[in-house]
Structure 1
Amino acid sequence: MGPPDELLERNARFADHFEPSDGSASPSRRLAVLTCMDTRIDVLGALGLHVGEAHIIRNAGGILTDDVIRSLSISQRRLATTEVVIVQHTDCGMQGLDEGELRDELQEAVGAHPAWEIGSFSDVAHSVLTSIERLRADPHLVHRDRIHGYVYDVQTGRLTAVDGGP
């Protein structure tokens, strides 16, 4: 049995006990979270949240990209979120990643460099702070005053606040 079959079996067990939400697509805590796709991060557990309380946006590194800004703009303008939390983490694969090497590897494999930014960084706290500053300056967001940043320690499960000003 391959992964698709296994996933369908697991879904069947899930669906046997599934109760549809009586809530809406708008998160009850009016919160959007940007974090890394790293499998060591249980973002709901780490933040004490439950399904339906926040929009969770994940990508490699928890990096603020144009697509993340698109998602946050929709989250705020159509789904009533008013607060953004950025959570990056220790021991991230994007920290110190050699972008030139990866671009060259992709060029060799497919004949072209990617059109998208890779987004590596050298200092995780500085990366979070830079993302906070960029979001606070982005006119596409309605609520730019409630943006917070944290570094999640994958060894302890603890968050450390990154001071982004107001």
Structure 2
Amino acid sequence: MTAIDELLERNAALVDRTRGDRSSASPSLHIAVLTCMDARIRVFELFGLQQGEAHVLRNGGGVVTDDVIRSLALSQRKLGTREIMVVQHTSCGLSMTTDDEFKDELEADTGLRPTWAVEAFREVKDSVRTSMARLRHSVFLPYTDNIRGFVYDVHNGALHEVLSPGQG
């Protein structure tokens, strides 16, 4: 059985016993959480979130890209979110390569060099600060006063806030 088949079986079992209103796309807490796709980050468990409370965006590294800005612009302008959490983590794969290394690897394998940025980083706190700055400076996001960044420690579950320059 493939992983897709397994997920389809789980969905079939879930449909009959799942409760809750699935009619609203707007999150009840009016918050969006951007985090990494790393399977060790259990976003709903980490924050005690219930379905329907937050928009959760995930990508490699939990970094702000044009597509993240697009999704957050929709989230804020059409679906009512007003706060953003950026949650990156320790031992991230993006901290173990460079943009050029990964692009070289892809080019060697495919014959094509990607035009997109990998967004690799060495220091996770700096990456969180960069992501927060990109969000705050985006003309497409009307609500940038309550953007906060964090580093999640995958070894002990602790969450550490990352302050922007000039903050507290």
Query: How far does residue 53 in structure 1 lie from its aligned partner after superposition?
Result: 0.5
1:65-100, CA deviations, whole angstroms, 9 ceiling, x for partnerless residues? 000000000000000000000000001111131322
- Is 2:104 the counterpart of 1:113? no
Pairwise CA RMSD:
1.4
In percent, how many aligned pairs have the same letter?
Answer: 49
Q: Is the 8 A contact 1:23 1:52 kept in 2?
A: no
- TM-score by length of structure 2 reads 0.93
Query: What is the aligned partner in structure 2 of residue 93 from structure 1?
Result: 93
Q: Is the 8 A contact 2:98 2:121 kept in 1?
A: no
Q: Is the 8 A contact 2:36 2:61 kept in 1?
A: yes
Query: How far does residue 5 in structure 1 lie from its aligned partner after superposition?
Result: 2.2
Residue 54 of structure 1 aligns to which amino acid in structure 2? A
Query: What is the aligned partner in structure 2 of residue 58 from structure 1?
Result: 58
Q: Which moved more, 1:9-18 or 1:32-41?
A: 9-18
Which contiguous aligned blocks of 4+ residues in structure 1 show a shift greater than 4 angstroms?
A: none
Give SS of 2:25's match: coil
Give SS of 1:84's match: strand
Aligned length: 166
Residue 69 of structure 1 aligns to which amino acid in structure 2? I
Q: What is the alpha-carbon distance in structure 1 between the residues aligned to residue 77 and residue 10 of structure 2?
A: 35
Task: Evaluate the alpha carbon distance shift between residue 99 and residue 143 of structure 1 in structure 2; reply closer, same or farther with a 3 A threshold.
Answer: same
Residue 156 of structure 2 aligns to which amino acid in structure 1? T
Q: What is the alpha-carbon distance in structure 1 between the residues aligned to residue 9 and residue 48 of structure 2?
A: 29
Q: What is the alpha-carbon distance in structure 1 between the residues aligned to residue 71 and residue 61 of structure 2?
A: 16
- TM-score by length of structure 1 reads 0.94
